[in-house]
Structure 1
Amino acid sequence: MTEQHNGRGGRVRSPEERQRQITDVVAERGSISAQELAAMFGVSVMTVHRDLDELERQGVVRKFRGGVTAQPSGVFESNVAYRQKAMREQKRAIARQAVRHVEPGTSIMLDDATTTAQMIPFLAELTPLRVATNYLEAMRQLSQIKGIGLMALGGDYDPLHDSFLGTTCLECIDALRVDAVFVSTSALSGKYAYHQEDRIVAVKRKMLEVAAKRYLLMDHSKLGKVALHKLVPLSAFDLVIVDAGAPAEVLADLERNNVAYEVAS
């Protein structure tokens, strides 16, 4: 097979390898045109579109006229590689605020959100703790912290979210009762939180059912937006934590709807 240069000093030996590298580029940039990708990888625009069709079929990227994006829409959630890079400082500030509501000697649950995962480094100062999660990367990090008892919520592994989902995961969650759960989601507007995928909605709802206290962590890029599925009313949460970039009109809406919130500095 003829090797092709990818434009960055490497070689692409198969469509699969090229698609992996396209995924990395889109996750890094957020959005890019098909023409730019064709020039970068030394292939035709038609070849790039075939690659993008396959990546879109897998749910990795979202095509638009003339290009591709990893950014979310009302029906498309960004893959975990993109979400790990987006709004990092804001997520860290929110996480730092959230851990103020964690007491040593308690049990907590974290969903598979990259926002809640930012809490993990701070949890090391609050041990002993029992922490349950379905997010594989969070499991790796938590397993390295002395004083944290890790409870892994298993099920069907989903590589796009790097987490476990499905019926088995729901049964694992249902077998537990925790002092607090910390979740994030894709959108918040009016009186409701939203998400694009019904299987994710099912897991988050079950997590909320088994917790005595419920916290919603949201960076400002998700505020004032909706997605395909209503998750729960905001009244289901004891507290919503946002970052300092939250629009004033969104905060006013929260106040109007009697939703308790904190702004992380």
Structure 2
Amino acid sequence: MWSQDRHRRIQGLLGHHKQVSADELARQLDVSRETIRRDLVELEAAGLLRRVHGGAILPEQTGKEAPFADRMQVRRREKQAIARAAARLVEPGQTCFVDAGSTTALLAVELAKIPGITVITNSIDVAGTINRDGIEATALLLGGQLHSDVPGTFGELTLSEVARFQVDIALLSPVAIHAERGASNFVLHEAEVARAMIRYADEFVLLADHGKIGQVSRANICSCSHIHRLVTDSAAGRKPLAELRRAGIGEIIVAD
């Protein structure tokens, strides 16, 4: 069974029972307890559940997303591959929006290698990576309210500053992407920034590792028909990707 299928089954069981045990999940899905442990770690990092001793509960019972530092380490190798592939879509001299997230923090390392680009971002990590000595790129950090978890700016001031620009390409990384429900984030203020960046960009590229595919989170960003390109990793299943294509995503790029 693909990990995306297991994740959907786990979410379905959680939605019905409100809590699940790791042992019961391993029995029902016919996999090892270690496989279930990895699944729960990934789903928690996406904000779709909260791990507790022996199992998991719905995130609504905690109201919290996994810490940003933890999310930076989940599927890091896949995120680096996605970052390299996504950076190849940006041409020297272009202007781009980049939002705040664990995948886009790694993307900034690749964007810093492209001469003459301008990166407009609400991410402190992204701006810091671009704004270093010897980098032939420009970083513009959007103003706004700082949040304690994700190192970035959000709120009405951030949204108004986004509207001052029209860029070539927006490179954004949500918490989840689903064929029917589209792209979504865990919290509203992150989704609002993403929606604004999409509106003022000529092209929209979505970055999502395989653990985010087929998932749904709390705050909607956009439907699949608004996504020009999806960049994912080689562990993404053929069936979920085919569903996303049918839902209207223009092109899917699988990074290796």
TM-score range, shorter chain: 0.7 to 0.9
RMSD of aligned alpha carbons:
2.3
Within 5 Å, give how 1:110-149 maps onto structure 2: 110-144=98-132, 145-149=134-138
Q: Which residue pairs with 1:37 in the alignment?
A: none
The 10-residue stretch of structure 1 (234-243 or 143-152) with the greater mean CA deviation from structure 2: 143-152
The gaps in structure 2 that reach 5 residues or longer are: 1-46
Task: Tell whether the 8 Å contact from 1:83 to 1:114 is kept in structure 2 after alignment.
Answer: yes
The aligned counterpart of 1:204 is 194
Cα distance in 2 for partners of 1:251, 1:134 equals 29
Is the Cα–Cα contact under 8 Å of residues 110 and 131 in structure 1 kept in the other structure? yes
C-alpha separation in 2, matches of 1:179 and 1:164:
22
Based on CA coordinates, which of the two structures has the bigger radius of gyration? 1
Q: How far apart are 1:72 and its partner, in Å?
A: 9.6
Matches within 5 A, 1:245-256: 245-256=235-246
**Structure 1 CA distance, aligned partners of 2:124 and 2:148?**
10
Match of 2:253 in 1: 262
Asked if residue 183 in structure 1 is aligned to residue 172 in structure 2, the reply is yes
- Superposition pairs of residues 72-83 of structure 1, within 5 angstroms: 73=59, 76-83=64-71
Counterpart code for 1:190: A
Q: TM-score, normalised by structure 2?
A: 0.74
Report the secondary structure of 2:109's partner residue. helix
Give the 5 Å matches for 1:90-129: 90-129=78-117
Q: How does 1:1-265 map to 2 (within 5 A)?
A: 65-66=52-53, 73=59, 76-144=64-132, 145-191=134-180, 192-259=182-249, 260-265=251-256
Greater mean deviation of Cα atoms: 183-192 or 210-219? 183-192
Percent of aligned pairs sharing the same letter? 27
- Equivalent-residue separation in structure 2 for 1:125 and 1:80 (angstroms): 25
| SS of equivalent to 2:177 | strand
- Equivalenced residue count is 204
Q: Residue by residue, what CA displacement relative to the aligned partner does 1:176-229 show, whole Å, maximum 9, x if unpaired?
A: 111111001111111311222111111110011111111000001111111122
> Residue type matched to 1:147 in 2?
E
Give the whole-Å Cα distance in 2 for the aligned partners of 1:235 and 1:202. 18
Superimposed CA distance per residue, residues 22-80 of structure 1 (whole angstroms, 9 cap, x where no aligned partner)? xxxxxxxxxxxxxxxxxxxxxxxxxxxxxxxxxxxxxx9x86554798x9958743221
For residues 99 and 63 of structure 1, do their structure 2 counterparts lie closer, same or farther at Cα, with a shift above 3 Å needed? closer
Contact 1:77 1:186 in 2 (8 A): no
Change (3 A) 1:95 1:233: same
Distance (whole Å) between structure 2 residues aligned to residue 153 and residue 257 of structure 1: 32
Which residue identity is paired with 2:186?
Q
CA contact (8 A) 1:72 1:78 kept: no
Q: Which moved more, 1:112-121 or 1:102-111?
A: 112-121
CA distance in 1, matches of 2:175, 2:58: 8
CA 1:169–1:67: 2 relative to 1, 3 Å = farther
CA change 1:245–1:72 in 2 (3 A) is farther
Matched residue of 2:165: which SS?
coil
Q: TM-score, normalization: structure 1?
A: 0.71
Tell me which amino acid in the other structure corresponds to 2:153.
F
Distance 1:112 1:152 in 2: 11
